[in-house]
Every structure is written in C-alpha cells, then in structure tokens.
Amino acid sequence: MNPTIVWIVISGLMNGGIYALIAMGLSLQYGVARVINLSHGEFIMFAAFLTWTLYTGFGINPLLSAAISGPLLFGLGFLIHRTIFTSLRNRSPSPAAFEGNSLLVAFGLYFVIQNVALLIWGGQPRAYYYLFHGVELFGVTFVVNNLIALVISVGLGAAFFVFVARSRLGRAIRAAAQDPVTAGLMGVNINFVLPLCFGLGALMAGVAGLLASMCYPISISMGMNYTVIALIVVALGGLGSIPGSFIGGFILGLVGSVVAHWQPALSMVAYYAIFMFLLLVRPAGILGKA
C-alpha cells in the first residue's frame, strides 16, 4: 500500500477518535440535556492538565489516571447540572428560553474553568512523554500512544453506544432526549437523567482530554478549538444523534488529515467548508431527522 495514504488514513482516524469522543459528549449534553455547552473544551483542557499533573507530579500512569480523572469529571458535570442547569431549567419559561440561557451560563463556565486552570497551572504550555516510541504498521512508523488513543476512543464509543441502545438507563436517556416532560410522566426521573447525561458528557470530555495530553502538547487555550470542532461534528452527525456524532468525528478527522497533509494551516478552514456545505445541502446532518 502507498505509505502516504496509510499515513493520512491512520492519522486521520487517530484525530477522529478524539473528535468522536468529544462530539458524543457534547451530543449528550445538547441532545438530551439541551445545554449548548460552550465550555465543553474547557473540561477537555482541565482533564488534560490533571493527567499531566498526575503523571509528572505523582508518577501515575496516564491510562490508569482515568480512574481518578474520570469519576472527578463525571461528578463535576453531574453537580454542575444538578445545581445550576436544573435550577435554570425550572426558572425558564420555555425550552427555547432555556437553550438561550444555558448557552450564556456555559459561557460563564468557560471563564470560570479557564481561569481556575490558569490559577492552578499558570499560562505555559506543557507536554510529557509516555509510550513515545515508534511501531511499524503497513510500512509506516506510528507513535504507540497515538494508536492506543485510537483503540480506547473506538472502544469507549462502541461501549457507550451499546449502553444507550441496550440498557434500561439508556432507554431512559433516549426517552428524555425525545421529550423530557413526557419521559418524566412515564416514570423517568428527569432530575437524575439530565444531570447524568451532562456528567457523562463531561466524562467523555475527560477521557478525550487524557488522550489528547498523551498525544500532543497541551495549553490552557486548547479548549476553544475542541469546542468548535465538537460543535461542528455534532451538527454534521445530526443534533442529538449519538451514532451520528461518532461517525461524524471520524469523517472530520479524515478530512482534517487530508487537508493537513497538503496545508496544515487550513484544517479549520476545511472543517468550516464542510459545515457550510452541510448547512446548505442537508441541515439535519447525516443521521439526523429533518
């Protein structure tokens, strides 16, 4: 096989794995909890720095540190929704008003998380080396940690999809996504399921942040780009469609790596081109219902 093509495809899938994770997280937060979470990327950044501290400060293996950062991020997301967004939901006169207000609150969270991180870690970018050696695949050399990131994101995405599609709690989540009020009348505890979804979204952001810190240098301002990408992938896959976000993440990752191979500075431009094309041709996204 042509090594260039192998390189483009596999590195595209690696990026795509992280994109898919963050987009699935945002899809849960927007599709079910109806929060347009502009601070999604800040959760990713926070988890990335947490992983960095745990590895360089305490010598905890980044992959194992998920046992600390995962529950922490989940709890944080759950608590934020249970306190702020639940009370906002009860105060808002209509779902549309809640969407607008939740966007603004998420905006406030963006400032809070970013500046807490700046107070803890300061402004300089960080990086660490973990499993940083090459391995040959189809005649091309890849870094091991990148491949592990890909495997983890695919595994986690698939596991989560099965959880939503098959489990009882997953059914409650899907019901809440369709109509929270009716789901509440059918015996779904909305005040538990919506914070749960927000928390799971934060958890996915946390795992994505962990993987990102393993593969790339990290900085406090990294969150914004991830938020933009997650929003585009969610729109690409169809608002609220979890498999759509999963597939969309990989599509965007592949497009990004094709463009980056030719001109690295223009990958964001390519994402936008896709987004605009989609808005004009199929606004509901690839798997969304019109």
**Which residues here bind other proteins, judged by CB under 8 A?**
30, 36, 38, 84, 87-88, 91, 96, 99-101, 103-105, 107-112, 114-116, 118-119, 224-225, 227-228, 231-232, 235, 239, 263, 265-266, 268-269, 272, 275-276, 279-280, 283
> Whole-angstrom Cα distance, residue 38 to residue 42?
8
In the complex, least distance from residue 170 CB atom to other proteins, rounded to whole angstroms: 24
In the complex, least distance from residue 284 CB atom to other proteins, rounded to whole angstroms: 10
> Whole-angstrom Cα distance, residue 58 to residue 186?
47
In the complex, least distance from residue 38 CB atom to other proteins, rounded to whole angstroms: 7
In the complex, least distance from residue 195 CB atom to other proteins, rounded to whole angstroms: 16
Q: Which is nearer to other proteins, 101 or 219 (CB)?
A: 101
Residue 14: exposure state from Cβ atoms within 10 A (0-12, 13-18, ≥19): buried
**Residues pairing with 142 in the sheet:** 135
Tokens matching residue 2? 């042509």
Q: Which is nearer to other proteins, 181 or 269 (CB)?
A: 269
158: Cβ–Cβ under 8 A, 6 or more apart, which residues? none
Q: Which is nearer to other proteins, 101 or 191 (CB)?
A: 101
Q: Which is nearer to other proteins, 199 or 288 (CB)?
A: 288
Q: Which is nearer to other proteins, 114 or 145 (CB)?
A: 114
> Whole-angstrom Cα distance, residue 160 to residue 163?
5
Q: Which is nearer to other proteins, 60 or 266 (CB)?
A: 266
In the complex, least distance from residue 272 CB atom to other proteins, rounded to whole angstroms: 5
The DSSP string of 130-149 is SS--EEEETTEEEEHHHHHH
Tokens matching residue 257? 């790596």
Q: Which residue do the tokens 């720095």 mark?
A: 49
In the complex, least distance from residue 101 CB atom to other proteins, rounded to whole angstroms: 5
The answer to whether the beta carbons of residues 94 and 27 sit under 8 Å apart is no
